[in-house]
Amino acid sequence: MAEKGARPQLELVARQMFIDGQSLTAIEIALGVSRQTLSVWKGQTKKPSDEFDEWDKARARKATFGLRMEALLERELTFAEEREAGAIEGGTLDNLSKLGALVVKFRAQDSQGAGYDKAKVFLENLQWMVAWLRENDPEGLKVLAADFDAMTMQFKTECMNNGNA
């Protein structure tokens, strides 16, 4: 179960995990937050006049982002091709090149599958724990510091064994 007072950090991590394609069940297990709590956090972002809450909207935007970038690149390339030779400014060509590189990068990232950066989540949680311990349990912080290397090695080992490194 998640620590009391951890809501601001956990809610942000949970939202990002959801946007990145994780199910509420997977988030519940990973963060130790009840499904009911996740549903409340998610539901609080829904405006009465909207069909979807902000979590769902952000997930949909992310899911279609690559397609929208590809469509923009195609539209701009078509426009550039319809112009006279030499009529395209260098800045426009530079922007098209950058957009093309982003599309390629996004395709490569997308082909690796949805997920979230577990190391980043680990570090964010660790930073929160250190801050909390510093303020509320200085002796606990000493224990964490003494066992830190062993804990990080265990985390790395588990990630590698699960193919999630």
pLDDT digits (tens, 9 = 90+) for 13-29: 999 999 888 899 989 98
Q: Model-level pTM greater than 0.85?
A: no
Q: At what angle do helices 7-19 and 54-81 cross, to 10 degrees?
A: 40
Tokens found for residue 10: 């956990």
- For position 4, what pLDDT does the model report? 61
- For position 5, what pLDDT does the model report? 63
**pLDDT single digits (tens) 75-126:** 888 888 888 887 878 888 888 888 888 888 877 766 665 555 666 777 777 7
- For position 117, what pLDDT does the model report? 67
Pinpoint the alpha helices (H) of the chain.
Answer: 7-19, 24-31, 35-43, 54-81, 90-111, 118-136, 138-161
24: exposed, middle or buried (Cβ count in 10 Å: 0-12, 13-18, 19+): middle
Measured at the CA of 77, the angle between CA 114 and CA 61, to 5 degrees, comes to: 30
Give the start-to-end residue ranges of the domains of the chain: 63-111, 117-165
